[in-house]
């Protein structure tokens, strides 16, 4: 009897050990690091200074749409492969170039840290590498930007402003930092502001009927007309009779986008103040809410003369993309 009990316990231990050995070990990744929109480019110095580097800069450091001065999509920090080790591997975004390998392109999620997005581009020579960069440029930029939007939203969520009034008036929630304040809270128009050195960052929210944008095929003209009407009514300038309008000299950029699963027109351009010397960039989302026969308009704009504005506008974009319809 004792032998039978001993044998049973022995078999249980053996089977338990086998089962545990089959389970994959859990890999615990350290937190990633890095400034927003900063990309580590791992490539040999010779390639970086030649045509491969030129192709990378043309793709990753292209000018941001809608800014009054040229600013790059990403700030690039080049390093040769031996330098990409230890703490440096924790950088949240990296693009790695491998010459002398089979031609290819792949995006990795969390290879060395979390959150992290890595891009590997390879080819037997510079021509193959450049072809991969050009062919996959849009996908690369989209993946890197999506990672940064999520990271910016994560940082914003650490200290949020109460948005109950937005939920009550418009049926939406919006995650924005407590550093912002409500400047205007009307039944049909909200204005939210944050002071920055030598300027301001602004968010306006309102709604218009679907017909305001969809009444004909000239969507850009309809959005400009809508913006200018709101500016004249609600956003005065520093002088009597001055108010915000869309810059007349340049048509804004128009894209199709998606916010909280709903179709949206994304418009980027420059605003100015009629009869006053003030201007700056804006980003506008017209989110189609067909159930309620309306577009919810979410717009961010910044005023920061003689200052870089890429990061200001990126923060506003991350905030606007956090909207949820209740």
Q: Which of 155, 187, 204 is the last residue of a domain?
A: 155
**Residues 167 and 228 grouped into a single domain:** yes
One domain, residues 146 and 244: no
Range(s) of the domain holding residue 105: 30-155
pLDDT digits (tens, 9 = 90+) for 269-307: 999 999 888 999 999 999 999 999 999 999 999 999 989
Cα separations in angstroms, 174 against 178, 204, 246, 298: 12, 12, 25, 10
Whether pLDDT at 124 is above 50: yes
Tell me, yes or no, whether 11 lies in a domain: no
Return the pLDDT at 267: 98
Specify the pLDDT at position 259: 97
Task: Please report the pLDDT score of residue 26 as a whole number.
Answer: 54
218-264: pLDDT as tens digits: 999 999 999 999 999 999 999 999 999 999 888 999 999 999 999 99
Q: Which residue has the tokens 């292209």?
A: 62
Q: What is the CATH number of the domain that holds 102?
A: 3.30.379
The pLDDT score that the predictor gives to residue 70 is 95
Average pLDDT over residues 152-165: 97
Residue 5 resides in a domain: no
In a domain, 271, yes or no: yes
Checking if the pLDDT of 1 tops 80, the result is no
Assigned domain for 1 exists: no
180 and 308 housed in the same domain: yes
Of 94, 127, 155, the residue at which a domain comes to its end is 155
Asked whether residue 300 falls in the same domain as residue 178, the answer is yes
Arithmetic mean of pLDDT over the chain? 92
In a domain, 21, yes or no: no
Considering the domain architecture, whether residues 143 and 181 belong to the same structural domain is answered as no
Q: Looking at residues 42-53, what average pLDDT do you find?
A: 98
Q: Note whether 174 and 305 are same-domain residues.
A: yes
Q: Is residue 292 domain-shared with residue 308, that is, in the same domain?
A: yes
pLDDT reading at 24 higher than 70? no
User: Is residue 3 included in any domain, yes or no?
Assistant: no
136 plus 257 within the same structural domain:
no
The pLDDT value given to residue 223:
97
CATH number at residue 214: 3.40.1000.10
Task: Please give the average per-residue pLDDT across 115-130, as a whole number.
Answer: 98
Both 306 and 286 in one domain: the answer is: yes
> Do 148 and 230 fall into the same domain?
no
Q: Note the pLDDT of residue 249.
A: 85
> In the chain, what percentage of residues exceed pLDDT 90?
87
> Would residue 257 count as lying in a domain?
yes
Residues 165 and 142 reside in one and the same domain: no
More confident residue, 137 or 22: 137
pLDDT above 70 (res 11):
no
Q: Are residues 147 and 196 located together in one domain of the fold?
A: no
Which residue among 155, 171, 206 closes a domain?
155
10 pLDDT band (50/70/90 cuts)?
A: very low
Position 12 pLDDT exceeds 50: no
pLDDT digits (tens, 9 = 90+) for 201-225: 999 999 999 999 998 889 999 999 9
Does 4 score more than 70 pLDDT?
Answer: no
Q: What is the pLDDT of residue 29?
A: 87
25: confidence class by pLDDT, cuts 50, 70, 90: low
Is 175 within a domain? Answer: yes
Residue-wise pLDDT tens digits, 80-89? 999 999 999 9
pLDDT at 21 over 70: no
Number of domains in the chain: 2
């Amino acid at each position: 009897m004792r032998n039978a009990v001993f044998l049973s316990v022995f078999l249980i231990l053996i089977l338990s050990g086998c089962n545990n050995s089959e389970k994959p070990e859990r890999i615990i990744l350290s937190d990633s690091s890095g400034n927003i929109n900063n990309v580590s480019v791992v490539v040999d110095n010779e390639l970086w200074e030649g045509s491969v580097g030129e192709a990378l800069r043309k793709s990753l450091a292209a000018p941001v749409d809608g800014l009054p001065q040229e600013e790059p999509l990403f700030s690039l920090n080049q390093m040769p492969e031996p330098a990409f080790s230890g703490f440096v591997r924790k950088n949240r975004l990296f693009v790695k170039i491998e010459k002398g390998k089979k031609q290819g392109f792949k995006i990795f999620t969390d290879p060395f840290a979390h959150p992290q997005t890595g891009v590997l581009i390879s080819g037997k020579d510079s021509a193959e590498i450049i072809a991969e960069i050009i062919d996959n440029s849009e996908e690369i930029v989209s993946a890197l930007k999506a990672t940064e939007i999520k990271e910016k939203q994560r940082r914003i969520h650490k200290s949020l402003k109460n948005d109950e009034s937005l939920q009550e008036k418009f049926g939406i929630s919006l995650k924005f930092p407590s550093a912002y304040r409500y400047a205007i809270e009307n039944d049909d128009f909200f204005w939210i502001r944050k002071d920055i050195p030598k300027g301001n960052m602004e968010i306006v929210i309102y709604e218009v009927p679907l017909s305001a944008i969809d009444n004909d095929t000239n969507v850009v003209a309809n959005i400009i007309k809508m913006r200018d009407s709101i500016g004249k009514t609600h956003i005065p300038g520093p002088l009597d009779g001055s108010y915000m309008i869309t810059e007349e000299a340049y048509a804004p950029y128009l894209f199709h986008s998606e916010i909280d699963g709903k179709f949206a027109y994304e418009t980027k351009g420059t605003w100015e103040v009629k009869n006053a010397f003030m201007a700056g960039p804006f980003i506008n989302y017209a989110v189609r809410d067909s159930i309620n026969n309306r577009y919810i308009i979410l717009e961010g704009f910044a005023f920061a003369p003689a200052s870089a504005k890429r990061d200001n506008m990126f923060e506003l974009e991350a905030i606007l993309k956090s909207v949820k319809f209740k």
